Structure 1
Amino acid sequence: MILVLSYDAYEQGTDPVISWLLHYEVPFVKVSLHDLINHRASYHIDLKNRDVVINGLSVRDTITTIWHRRFLGAGRTLSFPVGSHAEQLGFEIRTELQDLVSYLELLFRDKTWLTAFHQIKINKLELLDVASQCGLRVPHTQIINNRHDLLAFYLLLDGQLISKPIADVRGSYCHDDGSTYVLLTTTIDAARIAALPEHFFPSLFQEKVAVEFEIRVFYLDGRFFPTAMLLSGPERHIDKKLDSASERVHYVPYQLPPEIEEQLTRLMHSIGLNTGSIDLLKTLGGEYVFIEVNPVGQYLAESVFCHYALDKEIAEWLINHEPA
């Protein structure tokens, strides 16, 4: 039986796949993080016998294929009683759940996984290093904590410089006036550098690549589904999230060169991922530059515009990996 681990509520990358599983009448069960802490079912985990028993029935040998998508992220939405210890309580409960889920992954490690828990967390710096070792071009990147070295890097790159978070941050900041601030990739110029203190928190600075267009590649176990994001007009935001909903963006199917596919395959094997959304840049000089891979990136827009039917592809992958 297929086990789907995802959000409790609707999730745009998960529920369309579930619709196909229902269409094919394939047995599956969906479990969310909330199911582990709410009273929807009685369960116990037997460490001695390495078994999971739900409502009196063992599922250790029933589950054969597991699709994990945005399961632990739901922990950020868990609410706790307001009080002086709410922050500490939230931290401890999330830590307890993290260790519980880690053990469940160990218990089911012999199953077929589409993205295991321990492969979700990607270190951006390590990823760029591995991508370079696999033959991919990556932007010149430095971690800097002082204005002197930042200015030197800025001059080395002829002023073509950006900054972005080191980690994969998805948070936001709410201001008292009702405004909300999010972390985005930002252009760094001489005026910004001059305004910085002599020393600051270690930050990621990167070469600003001259882009013809961006490419989002959905990778599924050796298969590539690339989408070129063509932008009408000369203006382009540094962070593509600001252009993604614009009417000036056109999503079209794209064919990667065989050598780039080989290098990306080598990268995905090296980091242990059998699926993910890969971001590339096509430069004005015709080169391909690797930016990042998101193990659980959204894919639905590219799938719809390019008629890839990726929700169907994922469902059929899960079904085809079930024992005969």
Structure 2
Amino acid sequence: MTKRILIITERADVHADLVADRILAKGHRPFRLNLDEFPARFSLDLRFADGAWTGSLLHQPSGDTLWLSDIGAVWTRKPAEFAFDSEDLGAQEKAYASEETEHVLLSLLHSLSCFWMSHPIAARAAQWKGEQLLRAAAMGFEVPRSLIANRPEPVLQFRHAEGGDIIFKTLASPYLGADKVSPDECVAVGIATTRITDEYVAMIDGIGEVPCFFQTHIPKQFEVRVTVIGDRAYSAKILSQSDPRTVTDFREFSVAIPYEAFTLPEDVERRCIAFVHSYGLSYGALDLIVTPQGDYVFLENNPGGQFLFVEQLVPELKLTDAVAERLIQGAADGR
């Protein structure tokens, strides 16, 4: 019997929509667990006996039932807040319900023996950008000199030592918490990677509230987005220097800069794949700089990074197919 693929995400996830369609087109039936419908739209019947969990998860609207014994692969695509039958839960009631639901779900998931893209424990261990720099350097990547500080003096000293050319970037998220609050509570939508010019130095006292991350500015010839799926790496060349608005941060998606399919040097490609695998991950999205001298500089790896925008801009990189095929293969062989 063909094992099923469990996709854990939310309703508004185009990545999951497209991958699920490809999995269906290849003759397999995914089961989608939208966390923003869970547990309100699902029925659980899970039992522990004789040293094992058995049972099922029923999606009430569709009637689709997923038996634990049928799960061959899990794609942990996107988190979301849980949904409950009652919409008027008090603050403490909702806190208890959320904690208990998370405990049940993670207990279930962590008990599975199957293929993961990627396991929650591995993905969480891989997300810390400060540790990534240490690991990348140990694996032979060139890594920018960096500083973490919450006082002006070390930042000014670092800027002077780097010839006055440093950048600020966020570590957890560029959204500045905007995605964690309601629209009426939002005061800023985010911040891009920013060069610390004299204008910003005049405001440097503002870093006292939160530890801030700075790096030496690395001149760019172009940038590369490397998407590792299983044992393969798919690379896109990003000509970010072609427009002044994307010179420092290519993630200004309102600007139409060129993207091209790109072939990494073999040693760099092997290192990217090895870096992702070193965490026990089967997926990762790495950002690299290529300097005017042709050196490759590691910036970061996102263990759950978006891939659809890359495929839309470089259609020959069949990333959606690659994800679907890796999940199908993982479900078939269990690893």
TM over 0.5: yes
Which residue of the other structure, out of 119, 123, 132, is the alignment partner of 2:122? 119
| 1:74 alignment partner, SS class | coil
Structure-2-length-normalised TM-score: 0.83
Corresponding position of 1:12: 14
Which piece of structure 1 moves more, 55-64 or 263-272?
Answer: 55-64
Deviation at 1:181, TM superposition (A): 2.6
Deviations 1:212-263 (A, max 9, x none): 1111111111211100112474514323221x3312x111100101111122
Which piece of structure 1 moves more, 314-323 or 151-160?
Answer: 314-323
CA contact under 8 A between 1:65 and 1:322: conserved in structure 2?
yes
Deviation at 1:134, TM superposition (A): 0.6
Cα distance in 1 for residues equivalent to 2:93 and 2:53: 29
Corresponding position of 2:23: 21
Corresponding position of 1:97: 101
Which piece of structure 1 moves more, 196-205 or 221-230?
Answer: 196-205
| 1:316 alignment partner, SS class | helix
Corresponding position of 2:279: 271
Structure-1-length-normalised TM-score: 0.86
Cα distance in 1 for residues equivalent to 2:156 and 2:288: 27
Matches within 5 A, 1:168-207: 168=173, 170=175, 171-172=177-178, 180-197=188-205, 200=208, 201-207=210-216
Corresponding position of 1:54: 56
Deviations 1:5-47 (A, max 9, x none): 2333141221111111111221332112245311433433537
Corresponding position of 2:259: 251
Cα distance in 1 for residues equivalent to 2:35 and 2:182: 26
> Considering only aligned residues, what root-mean-square deviation do their CA atoms show, in Å?
2.9
Unaligned 5+ residue runs, structure 2? Answer: 59-64
Confirm whether residue 65 of structure 1 aligns to residue 70 of structure 2.
Answer: no
How many residue pairs align between the two structures? 317
CA contact under 8 A between 2:237 and 2:261: conserved in structure 1?
yes
Cα distance in 2 for residues equivalent to 1:181 and 1:159: 28
Q: Assess, with a 3 A threshold, how the Cα gap between structure 1 residues 82 and 295 changes in structure 2: closer, same or farther.
A: same
Corresponding position of 1:229: 238
CA contact under 8 A between 1:51 and 1:58: conserved in structure 2?
no
Which piece of structure 1 moves more, 149-158 or 313-322?
Answer: 313-322
Corresponding position of 1:131: 136
CA contact under 8 A between 2:6 and 2:71: conserved in structure 1?
no
Unaligned 5+ residue runs, structure 1? Answer: none
Corresponding position of 1:321: 330
Q: Assess, with a 3 A threshold, how the Cα gap between structure 1 residues 162 and 79 changes in structure 2: closer, same or farther.
A: farther
Corresponding position of 2:156: 151
CA contact under 8 A between 1:150 and 1:193: conserved in structure 2?
no
